[in-house]
Structure 1
Amino acid sequence: MEKQGNLPPPPQYSQGGQQSTVVITSPAMLGPQFREVPVRTQCPACQADIMTSTRYETGTLTWISIGVLCLFGCWFGCCLIPLCVDPCKDVVHSCPNCKQMVGKYNRM
């Protein structure tokens, strides 16, 4: 049997006076998320606590849908269907008091 030589001791891990710092962050408070439904928020124009009123307007998704329908041969007015369908349109949120736009939900 061979004799094993002296092996060096395992390395020692020490902090050596170093300190670690733990930073705890809290999520930033964001404004309301504007989607299809009205949201409760404070109007930046009149400072009133409101439930927004919503309306639909033609946006990018509407025009892309019209283009795709034309590409697939939907002529004779069928390609204009996205102009009549609200889920293809953007949603504009406004203040019911002062009628100022508060936010907008772009579908695309």
Structure 2
Amino acid sequence: MEKSKEPPKYSDPPPGWTPAKNYEAEMEQPIVYTVAQPPVGPTPCRMVCPSCRADILTDLKRESTTKTHLMAVLMFVLFCWPCVCLPYCMDSCQNANHYCPNCNAFIGTYQS
């Protein structure tokens, strides 16, 4: 009759040994893509539209901001009543929003 062999007993792992990586845990994490916004300035820019991929010159639309309103209130408080509408006419007090003329996609904002 043969004796049943016991499996060998393992002691501490040899030096330099590292356990296997759990690749399944890494695969479950979502992949995040970052899209760089094209540089835009205070004037219309020539670029390739990120939405329709056409070579365009951006449409520029100015928009009043909090800075614009604060400048108007400041002029009103300082008794410069004739100049209250001046910040609404100055490009430096407004944001420049860039749009694609083909697909009307929003491209970016230049804040002065």
Fold equivalence (TM over 0.5): yes
Contact 1:59 1:106 in 2 (8 A): no
TM-score (norm. length: structure 2): 0.58
Q: Is 1:78–2:79 an aligned residue pair?
A: no
Shift of 1:46: 1.3
Structure 2: how far apart are the matches of 1:86 and 1:38? 13
Q: Where do 5+ consecutive residues of structure 1 fail to align?
A: 1-29
Large movers: runs of 4+ above 4 Å: none
Corresponding letter in the other structure for 1:32: P
| Structure with a larger share of its residues in helix | 2
C-alpha distance in 2, partners of 1:80/1:49?
37
Question: Counterpart amino acid of 1:101?
Answer: F
- Structure 1 residue matching 2:60: 3-state secondary structure: strand
CA offsets 1:76-106 (integer angstroms, 9 cap, x no match)? x531221122232110111011112111112
Contiguous gaps of at least 5 residues in structure 2: 1-35
Question: Identity over the aligned pairs, expressed in percent?
Answer: 35
Residue type matched to 2:54 in 1?
A: A
Over the aligned positions, Cα root-mean-square deviation in angstroms equals: 2.1
Equivalence for 1:40: 46
Indicate the residue corresponding to 1:96 in structure 2. 101
Matched residue type, 1:43: C
8 A contact 1:56–1:92 mirrored in 2: yes
Shift of 1:31: 4.4
Distance 2:72 2:78 in 1: 10
Q: Distance in 1 between the 2:40 and 2:73 partners?
A: 27
Shift of 1:60: 2.4
CA distance in 2 between partners of 1:48 and 1:100 (Å): 12
Residue 9 of structure 2: aligned partner: none
Bigger Cα Rg:
2
